[in-house]
Structure 1
Amino acid sequence: MFRALWLAMLFSYLGTWMQDVGEAWVMTSTTASPLMVALLETAVGIPLFVFALPAGAMGDAMDRRKLLIGAQAWMFAVATSLGIVTLLGGATPTILLMFAFALGIGAAATAPVWQAIVPELVDPVELPAAIALSGIAFNVARALGPAVAGGVISATSPGVVFLLNAACVLFVIVTLVRWQRRAVASSTPPEQVASGIRAGVRHVLHAPGSKIVLVRAALFFVPASALWALLPTIGRVSLGLGSLSFGAFVAALGFGAILTVTLLPRVRERLSLEALVKLGTLAFAAATLVLAFVRVLPIAFLAMVVAGGGWIAIVSSLNVAIQHSSPDWVRARALAVFAIVFQGGVGAGAALWGGVAERWGLSAALGAGAGVMVCGILFGARFRIEARRSEDVAASLHWPKPVLVSEARPSDGPVLVSIEYAIDLANADAFLAAVHELGRVRRRDGAVEWAVYQDAAAPARFVEEFLVESWSEHVRQHARVTIGDRALEARVASFHVGTEPAQARHLLRARPA
């Protein structure tokens, strides 16, 4: 099934890149404003910023296949409508931005869910290869889509390009309808979307690996958006390209990415994810700087090839890092937060760099973007990306079932969990360091409050307490503890010197009858 969905993914990306070139061509044909051209990226990015996290929460709580079918049906309707409007001559800059925004809504609903289904289709050891294959689909489409779009525009009209995108979306819908997705059994109660969003944000904020990836993503995508936002202006205004040559110019990015993807498996054997992100950033910054000042066509095409290689090295490395940092129960939401940073950075950056280009010129905007990327490498040294094994985030399921006199209802709560430790005071500082590290895990997995207390009358007695919103949320905590967390819990428990193991007590809020 991975092969069929990969082919559908290829068609989806092919249509997207054709759509991008068609929109850029129409926009640059109807306005000379760099800001309006750059706002195309913003129009697509805003929906992803707003809707990606709810979509990710729905993807973790509902049937991902049905969500994808619904999102693709929306995109089919929007792309078809835009094609008809364009053929009738009604595609003004404002209308184009509105349709780009509408397509962005569909992309926001699709992106985190689509990425989250990949681990369902392959073994954990095959995940990096599956992500790389997804990158190949994206970049093959990036190489072919713009060239096809340029040829179609030259022969017919941008409206036909938009209708071809709709046809690609229809192929995706047919493939998803044919997919017989296996039901995933869950031992925990179904999670509501609102609480799911809170849980997803809480997990990302308290998972160091995820936070580092998001910081590094923001440091790159905001300045890198200068090239994406101003690419139509570079091609049509600075280089004076026609529809065919402009399509080939954009396709050069995909060609560079394909070359890089073929080398990445061997490169990853020698270089860490951190090194790949740094090298990719330097390559993309250098290409942006060349395009800021060089107007020689062969050199500009070569710069686009280098930019494509740098881009895929960074995006694939960050994607692998965020997937390896996220357990299955929250993966779609973690990817949604990554998509928010990605598209939010590109969308906000596009408006910023478009404004800079409008006021100070194209070269100033691209040069500044390249400079900020290099500064991001220096600042990012404080946030190193560390490789993690998929096994570390697998559920350990080692917590014992709570001892209860009567059955608790899912809505009962809040729940106060307390664990008492007897600690040799000579090891108190080491214990506190370890238990505070464990506190971040408790918050990550659902605790809204956490603290550790020392008994003033018996200083060797320490009590860890954390508060959870409801009994159902605490039940989910049991399923969220990972193998890596189990090792940390064992380290904390090793400081306990009591005659009996440290026991957890569960207190439910008492209310009058």
Structure 2
Amino acid sequence: MTPEIETLDNQNSALRPFRHRIFRDVWIASLFSNFGGLIQSVGAAWLMASISPSADLVALVQASTTLPIMLFSLVAGSIADNFDRRRLMLASQAFLLVVSVALTLSSYFGLVTPWLLLAFTFLVGCGTAFNGPAWQSLVGEMVPRTDLPAAITLNSMGFNIARSVGPAIGGLIVGAAGAFAAFAVNAISYIGLIAVLARWRPAMPPRTLPPEPLASAMAAGLRYVAMSPNIGIVLLRGGVFGLAAISVQALMPLIARDLIHGGPLTFGLLLGAFGMGAVGGAFVSARLRQALSAEALTRSAFVGFAACACIAGLSSLPVLTVAAMAIGGASWVLALSSFNATVQLSAPRWVVGRALALYQMATFGGMAFGSWIWGAAAETWGVADALLISSVTLVAGAVLGLRYPLPELKSLNLDPLDRWTEPKTAIDIRPRSGPVVVTIEYIIRESDVVEFLSVMAERRRVRRRDGARHWTLLRDLENPELWIERYHLPTWLEYVRHNQRMTHADAIVGERLRALHKGPERPRVHRMIERQAGWVTSEVDVPAHDMAAPITDPTGSS
């Protein structure tokens, strides 16, 4: 076995995901695409400075690129979860190619105005917003679950490699050939990724249900995240980290100019040190994950970035500040990759795109808000004090982990259970028929009531998270051992969808309830369709009283 293969097979190797050819090919193509995007950013900023004297318009170039990520991430995540993610990513890349070609031609022929340039950069941001959730959630289809954290870290490393040298290359291209050349390079950078995606034919499980309507899909994503404590913790911690840690990047030009009295070259060295630190953090991440828990690693990243901000605020020595930037880059990639991996490992495939989109919105929102806060703080108290305050905030973020630690998810199986089959009904039920009312009867001994109520609290969370409404638990007044779980779904299609979302981890709750049930047979399930008295339907040719009859199932499946 060659040394290269041994490295890729090593469980502790950060390069292990490269064993999977499709991930390796997409990663390399994405690396070149990231280079192109950063080169285009330099070209757009320089072009705006050349055609407009307004500092506000120059600042809006960056804002117009990031604003669509805030606006459209949830929409993009909903589409990614309901359609072929590969095709969505392919469509996003094709859209970005068309926009970049149009920008290149407009720039070459001198047709670009400030507002037209902002429109183009906004469209680039839209393509990026729709590409992000599809690409991030596709990683779980390219590599097995065990390699997922390392794959996510490699993605972060790839972006930081591009960020380390991309702006400098962009500056050289703009200086030598003009902004249109930077736009042309970016357009060319999409071709490789489009070719790789077009050639890939993943084995996709057949879709047995139609896609969710967009509004319903977005609501389902919000509901799932709101009812998932693990993901909620990541959103909180990610938002805090983005808010506090962005101080270093937002103030880096001022650190170079005012604190260590350098110029553009010094600024470039700081950017490069940050990027190279991120690359180094990615390489050691796999070994750190073997040695530390997710929370310990994240807390270390908070403290490491606090040290970066503190040293940058106090140092007047370029060498020391460059070293601090390297620490900050490593801490940055370790924290963000841990958050991203936790979200992916906390969400089943049917909702992972929406979960990632909401995480992205929380983190980018923290960064956007933090950039404004630290800029205002630097204006009021000075750059050094602003960095020291952000350092204290980062330490507080690490302490927050004592109350809201990141979960350990290595043993959580979120694969679909695939045990449930759609029951046969005695009346004609169509996908839009409803509302559907489900009741499940349990016989519970008095001595088991406390445990039963505890398990039912988890059952309620899972039911509501997966779409159930009006969940209630009833106890019979004449037979105290009889308990009835009751919930509604708006249509039969949503009832089927609700049951197909069941994972192996969710099934543990059902197994605990069946163990507590002391009836002669398994818990009895009644499925009923709600009807008003005297109601007449054109959907099914049966009397109203027949439609209201329950469908019973003694198997205990829901």
The alignment partner of 1:329 has SS state of coil
The answer for the alignment partner of 1:380 in structure 2 is 401
* Preserved contact between residue 111 and residue 339 of structure 1 (Cα < 8 Å): no
2:198 pairs with one of 177, 193, 200? 177
1:209–1:385 CA contact under 8 A, matched in 2: yes
Out of 450, 462, 465, the residue aligned to residue 483 of structure 2 is: 462
Residue 300, structure 1, aligned to residue 321, structure 2: yes
Correspondences of 1:169-318 after superposition (within 5 Å):
169-235=190-256, 245-318=266-339
Task: Give, as a single letter, the amino acid of the residue that structure 2 aligns with 1:317.
Answer: S
In structure 1, what is the Cα distance between the partners aligned to 2:324 and 2:367? 20
**For 1:73-222, what aligned pairs fall within 5 Å after superposition?**
73-80=94-101, 82=103, 99-222=120-243
Worse overlay, 18-27 or 142-151:
18-27
Range moving further from structure 2, 475-484 or 37-46: 37-46
Deviation at 1:491, TM superposition (A): 1.0
Match for residue 498 of structure 1 among 493, 497, 519 = 519
Q: Deviations over 1:66-104 (max 9, x none)?
A: 222222233334444555666788988877665543322
Matches within 5 A, 1:466-477: 466-477=487-498
Residue identity in the other structure for 2:528: L
Aligned partners of 1:268 and 1:447: how far apart in 2? 37
Cα pair distance change 1:277/1:385, threshold 3 Å: same
The structure-2 alpha-carbon separation of the partners of 1:395 and 1:166, relative to structure 1 and needing over 3 Å to count, comes to: same
Larger Rg: 2
- C-alpha spacing 1:367/1:159, structure 2 compared with 1 (3 Å): farther
Q: How far off is 1:26 after superposition?
A: 6.5
Give CA-to-partner distance per residue, 1:118-138, whole Å, 9 cap, x none. Answer: 121222233233223323322
Candidates 398, 407, 420, aligned match of 1:399: 420
Q: Is 1:323 aligned with 2:338?
A: no
Match of 1:430 among 451, 460, 464: 451
Query: Could you tell me which amino acid in structure 1 is paired with residue 248 of structure 2?
Result: L
What's the RMSD between the two structures over aligned residues? Answer: 2.9
TM-score norm. by structure 2 comes to: 0.83
1:504 aligned counterpart, secondary structure: strand
Give CA-to-partner distance per residue, 1:149-189, whole Å, 9 cap, x none. 24334545455334322221233233323333444312333
Distance 2:498 2:203 in 1: 24
Identity %: 35
Cα distance 1:263–1:255, how it changes in 2: closer, same or farther (>3 A)? same
Deviation at 1:283, TM superposition (A): 1.3
Say whether the 8 Å CA contact 2:273–2:326 is kept in structure 1. yes
Shift of the alpha carbon at 1:25?
6.0
Contact 2:295 2:401 in 1 (8 A): no
- Return the alpha-carbon distance in structure 1 between the equivalents of residues 300 and 132 of structure 2: 26
Aligned residues of 1:220 and 1:373 also touching (Cα < 8 A): yes
Q: Deviations over 1:264-310 (max 9, x none)?
A: 11111110111111111111122123333434322222222111100
Pairing 1:355–2:376 present: yes
Q: Which stretch shows the higher mean deviation, 438-447 or 363-372?
A: 363-372
Q: Look up the equivalent residue of 2:529 and give its one-letter code.
A: L
Query: Greater CA deviation, 473-482 or 65-74?
Result: 65-74
Counterpart of 1:480 in structure 2 is 501
What residue ranges of structure 2 are gaps of 5+ in the alignment? 1-21, 537-558
Higher alpha-carbon deviation: 185-194 or 267-276? 185-194
3-state SS in 1 of match to 2:413: helix
Read off the aligned partner of 2:74 and give its amino acid letter.
Answer: L
Q: Cα–Cα, structure 1 residues 218 and 431, in superposed 2: closer, same or farther, change >3 Å? A: same
Higher mean C-alpha displacement, 231-240 vs 345-354: 231-240
Query: What per-residue deviation string (whole Å, max 9, x for no partner) do you get for residues 423-462 of structure 1?
Result: 1122212211110111101111111331212223332221
Counterpart check, 1:67 vs 2:85:
no
Q: Residue deviations 1:359-417, cap 9 Å, x none?
A: 44433433332222222222232111112137511111233543521342111122211
From the superposition, tell whether residues 196 and 21 of structure 1 become closer, same or farther in structure 2 (CA, over 3 Å): same
Could you tell me which amino acid in structure 2 is paired with residue 369 of structure 1?
S
Secondary structure at the residue paired with 1:381? helix
- Give the distance between the partners of 2:437 and 2:36, measured in 1 at CA: 52
**TM-superposition CA deviations, 1:295-347 (whole Å, max 9, x none):** 43222222221111000100111111111111111111111111111222212
Q: Which residue is 2:66 aligned to? A: 45
Q: Is the 8 A contact 2:260 2:315 kept in 1?
A: no
Contact 1:37 1:229 in 2 (8 A): no
**Ranges in structure 1 where 5+ consecutive residues have no aligned partner:** none
Tell me, yes or no, if the aligned pair for 1:21 and 1:149 is still in contact at 8 Å.
yes
CA contact (8 A) 2:153 2:334 kept: no
Question: 1:61 Cα deviation (Å)?
Answer: 1.0
SS class of match (1:328): coil
SS at match of 2:516: coil
Specify which structure has the bigger relative contact order, considering alpha-carbon pairs within 8 angstroms and separated by 6 or more residues: 1
Most deviating of 240-249 and 270-279? 240-249
What is the CA distance between 1:40 and its match in structure 2?
5.8
Relative to the length of structure 1, the TM-score reads 0.90
The 5 A counterparts of 1:409-448 are: 409-448=430-469
1:69/1:281 CA distance change after superposition, 3 Å: same
Amino acid at match of 1:65: R
Q: Could you say if the C-alpha distance between residues 406 and 473 of structure 1 is closer, same or farther in structure 2, counting changes exceeding 3 Å?
A: same
SS of match in other structure, 2:72: helix
Match of 2:539 in 1: none
